[in-house]
Every structure is written in structure tokens, then in C-alpha cells.
Chain A
Amino acid sequence: MTGCFEDGDCTTTTTDLLKIDFRKYESNEVDTVEIIGITMVGTDSVFYPLAAATSITLPLDPNVTSLTMNFDFELVTHELVLDYAAVPKLISPDCGVEVTFMNVIADETKNDFDSVAVRSSTLDEEITTNIVIYN
């Protein structure tokens, strides 16, 4: 077999950033939440979103397939557990490896938000919303 190899274009739209929107459970309207901080298992980092946020963006861990996030609100802390696959691909020897986060699932039994809906289970720069949290 002889094929013409074309060096791949190294540009990619994959991302490790998960986009979360907040909505009100009863009306499905955009919800503005005040989050003191967000912590995640696997890192000591604490994420401080804007004082009043309608959406946030958080990174997923490429080393594991399940991630627990703790959202500290003023009066309560809610937990969000996400299962996913971090699937690597060699783009080309000249480009190296890219990792695509896909099959994102919100485990209903472990989440204590009123409801969590997955709008897009694959992380991509061109996707505006992956998860909607109803509270």
C-alpha cells in the first residue's frame, strides 16, 4: 500500500474547558448565582468566578475519567460529579497528540443540584454550553 501522506493541519478545536450555564429550575430562565469558590478533586486550586455569574468555565482533568466539583455558595455547598472519557489522538508526528473530552455524563445520584442537564457531551471550543445546572 502506498498512499500520499499529507502533513496534517495542527489546528484543533478541542478543549479541556467545560462550559456551565445556570438556570432557574421553575422557569428555565437564566439564573444569576453568587459563588464564593469552586474546588475540584485532584487539584488544590480554587476557582473564583465573578461575583455574580450566569455561566462559568472549568477545566476537566485529562488524567482521570470522573471529576467531583464542589460549588460553595453563601449558605450551602453543592456537589457536581461528572463522568467522561478523555480520548487521545495522534494528529500527526509533526503535530503531536490532542485529547478530546467526550461522553460527559452528570451522575444524578451524586449531584445535589435540583437538576443537571447535559447539552453537549463533547468539549469543543465552538460549543457554547456543555452543562446546564438548574437551581
Chain B
Amino acid sequence: MAQEGVPADDQEEEQEEELDTVKISFIPKGLRLGVDLVGAGKTFLDSDKTELEFSADVELHRYLINLEYGQFEIARIGVDGSSYQNKGTYFRTGIDINLFKKDTDVNVLFFGLRYGKASFDDQLQYQTTSIVFGGNDLERENVGLGARWYEVTAGLKLHITNNIWLGFTNRLKFSLKIDDSATLTPHDVPGYGLASKENYWGFNYYLIYRIPFKKTK
């Protein structure tokens, strides 16, 4: 619409500026639910191990709010005849930023942060070997032991077909803190890895189902 007293070139420029205005919305666009295929495969193939992990994320503009939940169980046999069992659950929560600015398939290339927390029971059966006091078969256990850590994540989630996505997440885990125990030093921490490692690298490969809250344009 022409405006009186305003040069035609300036009017066009103003209209272009209006058309380029971007509206940022933090209304959730969809919910993604995933299952970790690597852990599921290990659970299926190894009778001494259970690693089941599920994930959920909600998109808010270019940010994804994440929640991951897992169940972990493992049995280990030591070369000295000792036997260790660990069973517990864990969750991680955090935020990712999507580096794809505009993608009609809602693909995600992300990096982010996580806070992880685990609760677990573990037991160790072992033999003491003392030349002076003799040997004994002993058992020690922790019940409801807690641990927490932080993660830096990076990964990709790609639209395959319909509401199906496939994605992976690389994790650098650090700053592990385990509750004090004067009974048994844990070998594993569910969701983290080996308790003796200051840093731990992790990888998940997810099969994801996305529930859109509204149609993507």
C-alpha cells in the first residue's frame, strides 16, 4: 500500500523488513520417545548384563529438554574366584541446543549438558588370604547407594519415515561422586560406567518415535 510523502523505494524496504520479522515460540512442538538399541542388544546377547535405557525430549524452539531413564544389572567373576553383582537405576536430565535453525523434518544436530543420578545395590563375594589370620569366605554389600555426575553431549537425530527418527548421542561423563561406603567400594555405577574412572565416554544409538503437537510446516 503506497504511503503519501514516502519515496517508493523506502516503502518497499519497509515492507521487506516487516516480512523478515521472525516470531520465536517456546510452545512445545513435539515429544520424542526413544529406546537405546545398543543397550538393548547387549541385554539380549549377554545373559550377565542388563542395560535398558529410554529417552524423552520436548522441543522448545531450538532447545530440547531431555530426560533419560535406565535400568542396569551386571554380574562379574574375578580371576581369584570373587563374584560381583550390581543392580540399579539411573536418570539423566538436561538441555540440548539444536544447531539446525530451520528444518521441516525437525532433524536435530545438537550439543548439550546432562546431570545424572543413580541408585544401586551391589554385592561382592570374595576370599580373604592372610598368612597370619587365615582365609575366610566373606560377603559385603551396599544397599541404596547413590551417585551423581555431569555430562557434555553431542549427537544427531534424523527423520527416517513418518514419525520414526534414528539418532545417536556421544557423552563425556565427568565429576562422578559416589556416596561414602565403609563396606564395599563399588565397581560399576549404573548410567556412568566404571566407578574408578574420573572421566568416561559413552555412546547411545536410539530408535525414536516422535509425537507432534502440531503439524510442522
How many chain A residues touch B (CB < 8 A): the figure is 30
CB neighbours (8 Å) of B202 from chain A are 1-3
CB neighbours (8 Å) of B200 from chain A are 3
Cross-interface CB contact of B185 among A1, A5, A88, cutoff 8 Å: A88
Cross-interface CB contact of A96 among B82, B138, B183, B203, cutoff 8 Å: B82
Known A96-B82, A97-B124; judge A3-B132 contact (CB<8 A).
Answer: no
Known A16-B130, A61-B133, A96-B79; judge A89-B203 contact (CB<8 A).
Answer: no
Per CB-CB distance, the 8 closest pairs between chain A and chain B, nearest first, are A96-B80, A89-B185, A3-B193, A61-B133, A62-B128, A85-B182, A97-B126, A96-B78
CB neighbours (8 Å) of A130 from chain B are none
Q: Is B211 located at the chain interface by the 8 A CB criterion? A: no
Instruction: Assess the B128–A99 pair: CB atoms within 8 A.
Output: yes
* Interface size grouping (class) on chain B: 35 or more
Cross-interface CB contact of A1 among B39, B82, B131, B136, cutoff 8 Å: B39
Instruction: Assess the B133–A42 pair: CB atoms within 8 A.
Output: yes
Known A1-B193, A3-B200, A45-B132; judge A93-B185 contact (CB<8 A).
Answer: no
CB neighbours (8 Å) of A1 from chain B are 36, 38-39, 51, 53, 70, 72, 191, 193, 202, 204
Which positions 37-93 of chain B face chain A at CB distance < 8 Å?
38-39, 42, 51, 53, 70, 72, 76-80, 82, 84
**Interface 1/0 per residue, A87-131 and B, CB below 8 Å:** 111101111110110110000000000000000000000000000
